[in-house]
Structures are given as C-alpha cells and as structure tokens.
C-alpha cells in the first residue's frame, strides 16, 4: 500500500493505492502506446488545446489539490497555491511552444547539384520518441511531479506518460492525475495520456519496460544513479534525464560585500531557508572576501540565522537525513558552527533547524562540498583574486552559480563568470538561485551530478527536446511527408524552417 505521513504531526495518513504489479504495468504501458498514436493524430494544435484544458482542470480543482498537498508535505497553502499556478502556466507555455512550431527543427534541402555530385531531396523533422516514464519529486508535488514540467513537455512532444507517484504525496498525485485525465477528455481524447503507478518496485520495472523509451527523474543522487544505470543496462538502452542535485555556489565580490552586506545576508538567508532548504537550487556555499565588508556580511548571516525558526520538512526520513548530513559536515576538521536557530522545534514534527557554518579553505572537500538537502549554508573566506580562483577550482558542478558584484566590478568579473559557466547550467548576477523562471530561455540543468545530461533542461520551452528524435525523409513524395515538411504546407502546419540553408519564418 502507499500511505503518506503528515509531516507536522507524524500521523500516518490513509493508504491511497496498492503497489502496482508488473502485470498492471504491462497493461498501462500497452495502453500508453495506443494513446501515443492518438496524441499524434491530435497534431500540434490539438495537443495545445489539450494542455490548456488540463491547466483549466487543475485550476478548477485548486482548493482540494492544495489542501491535500499541504496535508502530505507541510509546504503551506500559499506556497502550494503558487506552485499550482506555476504548473498550470507550464502547461500553457507548452501550448504556445506547439503552436509556434520551431521546436520541430524543420529543415528542407531540395534536390540539386553539390560539390559531391547530385544531391537528393532531404527533409528533416523531430518526432515523438515514444512512451515516457516520469518520476515525481518530493519537494514539488505539483511543478515537478505528476502534472509537472516533465509530463507537460512530454505530452507536448506527443508522448504518452506513465508517472510514478512519489510516496511522500500519493493522494496529491491521484488528484493531479484525475485533473489531467479530465483535461484530456475535455478535448475528446480517446484514453488518458497519463497513467499512474505506485511503489518502489514499480519504478524500477517501469524503467526496464520495453515500451518506455525515455525517463524523466527528479530526486536523490543515489536513487537517480540506480535508475540511470538500469536504463543504460537495458538490451536497448534509453535516455535517462535525471536531476540529481549538487552544491550551488555563491561568490560575493569585495565591492558588494562592502556596500551591501546586510542586504546580501538577508537575501542569502531567505534563499537557503526557503522551503526549509528543500530546493535543488538552494545556495549551499558562499565565498566572501576577507576584510570589514566580508566580516559584516558573515555577522549578519549569523544573527539572522540565530533569529530564524525551525521549519517542518517534507517527512521524517528527510528530516533525519538532513540532521545526519549536518552533523557530518559540522564534525569535519576546520568546520565550525557560526549560528543555528535558537528557537525550539515542535518535537512532533519533521523539523529542520537552520544552520550556517564556517569552513576553512582546507576543509572544502568531501561531504562539505556535497549537497545538503535542508537549511544549511557553508561560508568560506578568500583573500584576493588568486585565492578566490583556487577556491573556485574546488567547486564542483551544480545547477546554478551566483555572483554578487557592484557595477564597477562587472568588467573584472568576466573570469569568475567564465569559470562558473563552465560548471553550471545557470549563472545568476546579483540575485538568488532559488526560483526557476518558466520561460523560453531558461536552462535548468548542469554537469553530472547536477543532472545526467547537461545538454538538456527540465524547465523552459526547450525541455520538449528530450522527448523527440530526428527523422530525415529522402525523396519521399510530398503527400507522404509530415505536414510541416511539405512544399506548400497548409497555414496550420506552417512553422519556422530552414530551406536550402536559409531560415524562413512565417509571416
């Protein structure tokens, strides 16, 4: 069975569903293959309407979904209401992506002479990869779960989805699944394009199932690596797009530390304690300059953390792992606790106590430079550009890196940004990394272990690219080509495309 726990009280909530059997997964995957053909027949514009209908269905069920998610995660109705709005917006963004059409990367090369002799007519387009397995994340029961970005982008691509419900929020997963099914039915789709499975064994079975052609995963490094290895070990390996987590660094340049230490400290504390530190983009390490400005910034960090309150984490296991990891970090030679929340935690809840620690340069290794999922921030100091450069060499891959600098420092910060851009998927200037904008330009990824493929994103319009594969058509009669590749496509099938090397944009 799949029970969940109220993190505030530790009370076990009623079980939602039995674990999905292998035979049931076979049936669901077979159905997904058939529904995939239906999604293809809907076409781009039909799938766009379906995604918008799904967004409407989620919003129509807002109160019940948010209430249920709060009971299972303790994330708060305000945060979860915003997350539902974000999730609906993701669906609508991919409707825009479908109607615009450039994601297809349509290319037409007409037959003609070439330096190597006559060239055939060749036309290329991206097509759906097939059924996609999606694993939801504990910390985002909507935006990175059953109705989240992986599901939205896969459906937009024309791929049916089999989603693995996260054990931390099974009831929320069921309600979200019902909303997606209602949205699909609202546009007349014959069969739900998203199926739901439960249980640890169901997840590994799903990754190995012959009908599944790609996997989207957000979760821990340990579980993600096991599933990625299983995907690679299949008789026919499949792509596994996993966001696994890593340490995200913040660099404070001397001018910024001198001019606004209180402001930066306030923003850092708000960022690393947001959602009780349970964000994959949470800043985990901040490098501050030696001197008065850096000392004031560190002092502000310590005083604000001391005045903060413990928060309720997603569940007892996560709270326990955070406490163990925090203890492992603070026990390292050269690491000392600067401050931790001085307020009492509710002993009934899965609480996490904010803590900020100082690490000497020689201590920046091992567990100190690994992700700590929870409200912990490591502070280290540097004395001049050369030591900063040497410390940056120690910082491993991440999802984000942030630099705080004054306008006069921008010209000299190019080397810092260049180093960081080589190690992360998103560089932030004078901001904070928590909060990932859902937009066309966003890249949410990074070198391993941040993700299993730094070439792709799980947020933003180009997330759709993971679920598509290229097909070239050589000398195929016009009537047999995909509509977007035909010589004179109908208006609904007209998309940006490159014709004989020239980019042609409709209108």
Please list the active-site residues: 243, 280
Q: What are phi and psi of 114, to 5 degrees?
A: -150, 165
- Would strands 311-312 and 351-352 be described as parallel, antiparallel, or unpaired? antiparallel
Contacts of 128 (CB under 8 A, 6+ apart): 36, 39, 40, 157, 158, 159, 467, 468, 469
Return the number of other C-beta atoms located less than 10 Å from residue 421's C-beta.
12
Cα(371)–Cα(345) distance, rounded to whole angstroms? Answer: 23
Cα(473)–Cα(340) distance, rounded to whole angstroms? Answer: 62
364, 391 Cβ separation under 8 angstroms = yes
250, 287 Cβ separation under 8 angstroms = yes
SS3 for 416?
Answer: helix
Q: Which two tokens stand for residue 98?
A: 């479908």
Contacts of 17 (CB under 8 A, 6+ apart): 1, 2, 165, 170, 174, 198
Return the number of other C-beta atoms located less than 10 Å from residue 147's C-beta.
35
Q: Which of 408, 426, 445, 377 is nearest to 417 (CA)?
A: 426
Maximum C-alpha span of the chain: 79
* Cα dihedral across residues 470, 475, 476, 477: positive or negative: positive
SS3 for 502?
Answer: strand
Peptide bond into 362 cis (omega under 30): no
Cα(352)–Cα(404) distance, rounded to whole angstroms? Answer: 28
Q: Which two tokens stand for residue 376?
A: 């912990």
């Amino acid at each position: 069975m799949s029970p969940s726990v109220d993190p505030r009280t530790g009370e076990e909530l009623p079980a939602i569903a039995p674990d999905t059997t292998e035979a049931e997964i076979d049936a669901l995957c077979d159905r997904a293959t058939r529904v995939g053909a239906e999604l293809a027949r809907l076409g781009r514009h039909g799938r766009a309407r379906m995604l918008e209908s799904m967004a409407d269905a989620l919003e129509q069920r807002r109160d019940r979904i948010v209430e249920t998610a709060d009971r299972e995660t303790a994330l708060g109705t305000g945060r979860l209401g915003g997350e539902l709005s974000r999730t609906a917006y993701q669906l609508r963004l991919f409707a825009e992506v479908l109607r615009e059409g450039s994601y297809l990367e349509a290319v037409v090369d007409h037959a003609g002479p070439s330096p190597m002799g006559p060239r055939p007519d060749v036309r290329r387009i991206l097509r759906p990869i097939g059924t996609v397995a999606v694993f939801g994340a504990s910390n985002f029961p909507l935006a990175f779960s059953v109705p989240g970005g992986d599901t939205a982008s896969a459906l937009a691509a024309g791929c049916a989805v089999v989603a693995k419900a996260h054990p931390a929020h099974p009831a929320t997963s069921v309600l979200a699944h019902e909303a997606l099914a209602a949205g699909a039915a609202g546009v007349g789709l014959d069969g739900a394009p998203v199926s739901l499975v439960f249980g640890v064994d169901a997840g590994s079975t799903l990754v190995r199932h012959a009908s599944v052609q790609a996997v989207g995963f957000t979760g821990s490094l340990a579980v993600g690596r096991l599933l990625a290895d299983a995907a690679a070990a299949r008789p026919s390996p499949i792509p596994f797009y996993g966001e696994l987590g890593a340490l995200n660094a913040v660099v404070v340049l001397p001018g910024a530390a001198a001019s606004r230490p209180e402001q930066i400290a306030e923003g850092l504390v708000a960022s690393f304690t947001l959602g009780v530190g349970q964000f994959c983009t949470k800043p985990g390490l901040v490098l501050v300059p030696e001197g008065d400005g850096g000392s004031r910034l560190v002092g502000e960090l310590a005083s604000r953390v001391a005045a903060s309150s413990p928060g309720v984490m997603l569940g007892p296991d996560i709270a326990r792992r955070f406490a163990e990891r925090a203890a492992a970090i603070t026990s390292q030679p050269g690491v000392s606790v600067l401050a931790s929340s001085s307020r009492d935690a509710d002993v009934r809840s899965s609480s996490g106590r904010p803590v900020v620690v100082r690490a000497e340069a020689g201590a920046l290794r091992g567990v100190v430079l690994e992700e700590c999922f929870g409200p912990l921030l490591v502070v280290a100091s540097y004395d001049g550009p050369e030591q900063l450069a040497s410390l940056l060499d120690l910082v491993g891959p991440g999802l984000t890196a942030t630099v705080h600098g004054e306008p006069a420092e921008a010209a000299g910060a190019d080397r810092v940004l260049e180093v960081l851009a080589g190690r992360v998927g998103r560089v932030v200037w004078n901001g904070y990394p928590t909060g990932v904008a859902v937009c066309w330009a966003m890249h949410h990824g990074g070198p391993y272990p941040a993700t299993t493929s730094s070439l792709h994103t799980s947020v933003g319009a180009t997330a759709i690219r993971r679920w598509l594969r290229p097909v070239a058509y050589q000398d195929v009669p016009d009537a047999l080509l995909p509509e977007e590749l035909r010589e004179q496509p109908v208006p609904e099938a007209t998309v940006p495309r490159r014709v004989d090397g020239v980019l042609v944009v409709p209108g």
